[in-house]
A and B are shown apart, each in its own frame.
Chain A
Amino acid sequence: MASLAKTLMIHLRDVQKSYTRGDQTVLACAVDRLDIEPGEQVALIGRSGSGKTTVLHILAGILRPDRGEIEVAGARLDKMGEAARDNHRGRNIGMVYQTFNLLQPFTALENVLMGALFGRGAGGDAKERAMALLDKVGLGDRMHHRPGELSVGQVQRVAICRALINDPMLILMDEPLGNQDKATGGQVLDMMLQVASDDNKTVVMVTHDPESAKRMQRTVDLETLRGDLNVDVSADQKVEASR
């Protein structure tokens, strides 16, 4: 598959996604242009309903836009079938959600291993890698606990480990600190960004929180992406503007 932009991690052009509810069609998101370099840490902001999560799902290959070109980590997602997109997501993208989305019946270690199972495979040294990751985030003694037995901060760290288990090129985070106090959330985000920075991973984070957005290298207001704009804004300005 021909690469549109060999040097870019994310390359979106003229992307649009709508939903049909009854006889109404609702435009969920529209992005004329968005380019993100490898290793960049980008906050994606915008008011509620602006389509931030939809864009994130399109970048992950969970949703297929109605139109437009999408290239993520060297793959043309708009031209790929669902199974190929699933495979691409599992191998190249790590995801962290606001609600953490850990599977309650499984232990912390199993949740992390599940990321490997559906990504690059849970064989080989996957278990050792998962244990090392959990150890690294301070959960070495909690890896056999279920999510219900962990604090919110610990659950978040498990979710981060799961996102990192396949050593992805791209990490997508959807309001990852939304359920935490600022101090804990800040620590976790710093840890995540440090890991990403060390390994030159690209991070795209959807957030409402200006403090979180400030920690990123670049902030992109989703509303500015409609039209010809693809403008870097300071976190302070755009978060204020988006409210």
Chain B
Amino acid sequence: MSANADAAAASAPGSNLSLAFRRGLTDGAGVVAILYVILFTLYALWDRSALTVSGVTNLSNNAAPLAIAAAGESLVVISKGFDLSVAGVVSLSNVLMASYPVEGPGGALVSLLICLGVGGAIGVVNGVLVAILRLQSIAATLGTMIMGQGLALVIMDAPGGTVADWVSYTLTDVLFGVMPISGLIVLAVVGLWLLFRHTDACTGLFAVGADETAASLSGISVVSARFTAFVGAGLLYGLAGFMLSVQTATGNPTAGTPFLMLTFAAVALGGVSLTGGRGSLVGAIIGAATLMLLQKVLFSGGVSSFYTGIFQGVVMVLAIVFGSLVSRLAATGARA
């Protein structure tokens, strides 16, 4: 009887909006979005070209590969796993694009499908190893990462090659004079995520990430949730590799290596809990964009590029501290 009184208090009406607001802050995307706006304002103050179409396009092109890779990583992290294979997939897609350029829009499509195929295939291997054979995700994906990087070196033993001109010119361009195409592609990923949010598979992902036993006793297939996460992540890494090639227009067998640490940084910065079950793909994308923007801000602020890493690290730590403070405050607020 008394518990019912508590429950009635908890279900007091009229808190939907504040609930949504609180959730936005606590799932981390809110904090990093605010951070992004602050940094962008700073950047615009220092560098007027930031507000021009070419300035925005530049930022978008710059951030798209990492943003998409981080989006993929967030799927695995939400289901309580780690996926290191991102470095391998990005390198592999990049050298394939530079070694076998195919011209024209049809060629771009073929290249994209190849990249998605490579990412998807490695994702399936990860899925088999982690979801079905129940190996530790760090160990298994470390293996597939090294395999991917090794394969990239076999295809191309030194930086070189050229990505098809159509790809590197058209896809870095602007649509209707205002909209960067790379930005559209990131938005398309966000759109797919928003659709995916409304599937049982996505609910399964979050459930498995939070409590595997409870999820399976609730009738959720842990195997298919994990498998979905790895395959989805692989596909997104493939797309990230494609977008990186669009950017660099050349091949490099170690192109994916910086992605390894930066995707995890972006995911953590974006408020996706590395212990699973909490976060959003959108947060990871904004996290990646923030990391890339920070480089620009420091550059335009006249800070030597040697210091970039230090700043990125400090900002990340601060953002995570702030995010956890906010969610703790929100939690006590919810209890009161």
Q: Do A and B come from one complex?
A: no
